[in-house]
Structure 1
Amino acid sequence: MKAIILYYSKTGNTEKLAKRIQADLHCDMLKVEPEDPYGNYVSSLVRVNKERKNKVPVHSVTPVPDLSAYDTVFIGYPIWYMDPPEFLSDFLSKCSLEGKVVIPFATCGLANVGKTLNTIKEVCPKSKIAHPFNYGIAKKDNYDEWVRSFKQMK
């Protein structure tokens, strides 16, 4: 398995998880950044709510990488209003993910990665979405068991 991690982290939780995956699976990693950085927690919630309500396009400043050498793409994100951040979805829709295995992992308060999978399927329509992982306050999946399944694939 040749893998890369594409992720965004607002508070550092998703980044910690991405770095842990990178260390355990020895894959490349790229942080995706929004065009206009989000502020503190409360102002971010207000902004995201307005962006979604008013259908404001939100983009990334991160250049789209050449993913041709990878067969597996881990996608990490915080869950905002039951979805990945809009700019991350926009970024992913520009990536060449056809035929790749896409593995979402999300950090959240009370939500669950399963709620975000429809969006991931929409922006990665020709990919195989597999093995989603959730790390949240209400539900923490077993990371060691999850990562062990990938080590066995190598």
Structure 2
Amino acid sequence: MEQKSLVVYYSRSGNTKALAKLIAQLAGADLFALVPVDSYPTENSAAIEQAEKEIRSGFQPKLQGLPYLETYDTIFVGTPNWWGTAAPPVTAFLKQCCLSGKKIAPFWTSGGDGTQHILQDLMELCPDSVFLQYFTAVNKCFLKEQVVQWLQKIGYH
């Protein structure tokens, strides 16, 4: 039986979107963008301020839609790294969808603040999932070869 994969991601600035598209292309996976009903402000400092408040309060934004996950074996979950954790739209997705028994391949983009507790937070949201090695891109830098190597390590290229 053929394994099916889905790349689910949230991207405000486009960095995570670019990485998600590359992963989907290289892994032969479907692609699904998480879109909050209420968008973040376009002005960067206002968006940062709102996101920080949401993370500190545990706010879960309403999403415009959720992917159908039943036919997928592996879910690539992509997020920007905001204050060491996943962006609230990704957290909302993980809390609303049952990923029990699914393989999760997390990836994130970061402005340079490292992994901090993002992986631990994702694993706590999906305790009955199997986590594969994560991939992170710092300061908008990721090379296709690095993504290929990561996919090879986790068995997807």
**TM-score, normalised by the number of residues in structure 1:** 0.87
Q: What RMSD in Å do the two structures reach over aligned CA positions?
A: 2.2
Structure 1 unaligned regions, length at least 5? none
Large movers: runs of 4+ above 3 Å: 138-141
Displacement of 1:138: 9.4
What's the CA shift string for 1:70-127, capped at 9, x where partnerless? 1100000101111111232021111120001101100011123463011101211110
Output the CA distance in 2 between the equivalents of 1:148 and 1:9: 24
SS of 2:66's equivalent?
A: coil
Given the alignment, which residue of 45, 48, 53 partners 1:50?
53
Given the alignment, which residue of 13, 24, 27 partners 2:26?
24
Given the alignment, which residue of 138, 141, 149 partners 2:153?
149
Q: Do residues 35 (structure 1) and 26 (structure 2) align? A: no
Output the CA distance in 2 between the equivalents of 1:64 and 1:12: 20
Residues 130, 47 of structure 1: alpha-carbon distance in 2 compared, 3 angstrom cutoff: same
Residue identity in the other structure for 2:28: H
**TM-score, normalised by the number of residues in structure 2:** 0.86
- Identical aligned pairs, as a percentage? 28
Equivalent residues in 2 for 1:111-122 (5 A)?
111-113=113-115, 115-122=117-124
Asked if the contact 1:113–1:133 (Cα under 8 Å) also holds between the matched residues in 2, the reply is no
Query: Aligned residue for 1:15?
Result: 17
- Count of aligned pairs: 152
Asked if the contact 1:103–1:132 (Cα under 8 Å) also holds between the matched residues in 2, the reply is yes
SS of 2:11's equivalent?
A: coil
Asked if the contact 1:9–1:15 (Cα under 8 Å) also holds between the matched residues in 2, the reply is yes
Structure 2 unaligned regions, length at least 5? none
SS of 1:107's equivalent?
A: strand
Output the CA distance in 2 between the equivalents of 1:46 and 1:73: 30
Residue identity in the other structure for 1:87: P
Given the alignment, which residue of 102, 106, 112 partners 1:100?
102
Asked if the contact 1:2–1:69 (Cα under 8 Å) also holds between the matched residues in 2, the reply is yes
